[in-house]
Amino acid sequence: MKKTKIIKNIIIDVDKCNGCRACEVICSSFHAMPKYSNNNPERSRIRVIHEPLRDVYVPIYAGEYAVAECAGRDKYIIDGKEYDECAFCRASCPSRDLFKEPDSGLPLKCDMCEGEDEPLCVKWCLAEALIYEEREVEIEEDEEAPDEIAIGLESLANKHGMEKVIDTIAQLSKTLKS
């Protein structure tokens, strides 16, 4: 049996971004407690990396939390324009100060403005650099999203062998209990 699922998509047109940071203002304001009681771009789940003199404008969304930085880094050159290291990465990662609560250091992640009709950063971006789109896709009924831990363990097992992983877990469980 097939069923459908909504994919929420934000299209980012960097050519249209004017660097105004309205998206940062509204995002941090929406997520303030209580709602709209303050704003602080530092807490925003979208940040605009912009360097006007080099014409670099990259609105970037907070994605997954990364415990450790990548083993290697990437650096893009597009149309002769050199972007910063990791410029397009969404991770809240120890290697950079993006997407962390300023006081607690806890990671931030875009939640597509849960509860709102449309993402507020999109609504506030009158430049139309951010466009929201919903797409329906068909998925297999039994294609349950696999458990995150399972994915992690599987990748560890592939890398180090199943036995090693089981041993380590057993050991860890002892140290953590005591």
Partner 1 sequence: MEIDLSRGNIEKVATDPRDTELYLGGLGTNAKILWDRVPPEVEPFSPENLLIFGAGLLCGTPATGCNRTIVSTISPQTKLLAFSMMGGFWAPELKYAGYDKVVLRGKSPELVYLWIHDDKVEIRDAAHLRGKGAIETAELIKAELNEPKAQVAAIGMAGENRVFYASVEQGRSSASRGGIGAVMGDKGLKAIVVRGTKDLNVAQPAEYMELCNEVLEYIKHREDNPIPGVMPILAGLGSPQEMKVHDEKWHTENFMWGNSRERKRDFWNDEVAKEWTETMEKARTRLISCFNCPMKCGATISMPGLPTYMMKCFTKLTYTMGAFSDLDFGLRIAQKATEYGVDGFSAPQVMAFALELLENGILTDEDFPEMPEDSEGRFFYLLDKIVRREGIGDILADGTHWAAERIGKGAAAYAHNNIKKTEQLPLKLSMLNPVYFLMYATGEKMNITQIEGQFPQAPFATKEEREAFVSDWIQVPDEKFKQYLLDWEFRGENSNPYYPTVQMSCDIVDWQETMHYIDDALGQCAGLSSFPLKPPYHIHNYPKFISAGAGIEMDEEKLKQAAKRYRTLVRALNTRRGMRRKDEKPPANHWKKRFPELEEELLDTYYKFKGWNKEGIPTIESLHELGLGYVSDDFIERGILVEGEEDFPQEVSAATEES
Among residues 56, 89, 93, 121, which is the contact residue for ligand SF4, using CB under 6 A? 121
Bridge partners, 50 (sequence order): 57
Complex with partner 1: residue 38 or 173, whichever CB lies closer: 38
**Counting contacts by CB under 6 A, is residue 45 touching ligand SF4?**
yes
Instruction: Indicate which of partner 1, ligand SF4, none lies near residue 93 (CB less than 5 to 8 Å, by partner kind).
Output: none
Query: What is the C-alpha to C-alpha distance for residues 130 and 133, in angstroms, rounded to an integer?
Result: 10
Among residues 5, 51, 76, 116, which is the contact residue for partner 1, using CB under 8 A? 51
Bridge partners, 61 (sequence order): 46
| CA nearest neighbour of 90 among 79, 74, 105, 102 | 74
Query: What is the C-alpha to C-alpha distance for residues 31 and 114, in angstroms, rounded to an integer?
Result: 10
One DSSP character per residue, 40-76 reads -GGG-SEEEEEEGGGTEEEEEE---B-SS--SS----
Angle of CA points 73, 75, 81, to nearest 5°:
170
Two tokens, residue 139: 């998925």
**Counting contacts by CB under 8 A, is residue 74 touching partner 1?**
no
Among residues 22, 58, 112, 165, which is the contact residue for partner 1, using CB under 8 A? 22
Complex with ligand SF4: residue 101 or 111, whichever CB lies closer: 111
Question: Can you give the binding site for partner 1, defined by CB under 8 A?
Answer: 18-22, 25-26, 29, 32, 34-43, 51-55, 57, 102, 124-127
Residues that bind ligand SF4 (CB under 6 A): 17-23, 27, 30, 45-46, 48, 59, 61, 110-113, 119-121, 124-125, 127, 129-130
